[in-house]
Amino acid sequence: MDVLSDAFGEGEWSDKQKFLSDIQEARIITVPVLLVKPQTYMNRSGEAIRKLVDFYKLNAANQLLILCDDIDLPLGDARLRKKGGPGTHNGLKSIVETIGEGFARIRIGLGSKPAGADLAAWVLSIPTAEEAAVLQKTYDSLPETIRAYVLDGSAA
């Protein structure tokens, strides 16, 4: 989200408890958007998303784009899908349980956890320098992918 803030953000992040999120207004060319960092536990992300969808009366199918990590994708892969199931991601499960499967998402691959590693500890750990470099390239490509999606709905 910080990469998107640098690319599109206008003003500062603000803590909005009514949305259980930090939010920032942004603009992609002429299209106003809202960048959101839910402040719930990841497996309760749907609560924050529901508050935003209800307040702004969003059509999740074409006015919502969720970004999340994904251990089921190779490190650095980024996949945009316009709808679908949550896979093994508990945050996506929470959102699907709250608003259904009809929302776009970009899943960013973390790769598989090392054998014997605790999943939560591994996902929250600091990546190696090599992993961080791969992820940074992916993050740097996100603004263009999102710009294309917002402006013409193209699935990258």
Q: What angle do CA 38, 40, 45 make, to 5 degrees?
A: 65
Q: What is the CATH number of the domain that holds 87?
A: 3.40.50.1470
Number of domains in the chain: 1
Look at residue 156 and give its three-state secondary structure: coil
Task: Give the model's confidence band at 114: pLDDT under 50 very low, under 70 low, under 90 confident, else very high.
Answer: confident
The yes-or-no verdict on residue 156 having pLDDT over 90 is: no
Average pLDDT over residues 30-58: 96
Domain residues for the domain of 35 are 2-152
Average pLDDT over residues 87-95: 91
- Residue 154 has a pLDDT of 58
- Residue 119 has a pLDDT of 86
Question: Is 94:85 a contact under the CB 8 Å cutoff?
Answer: no
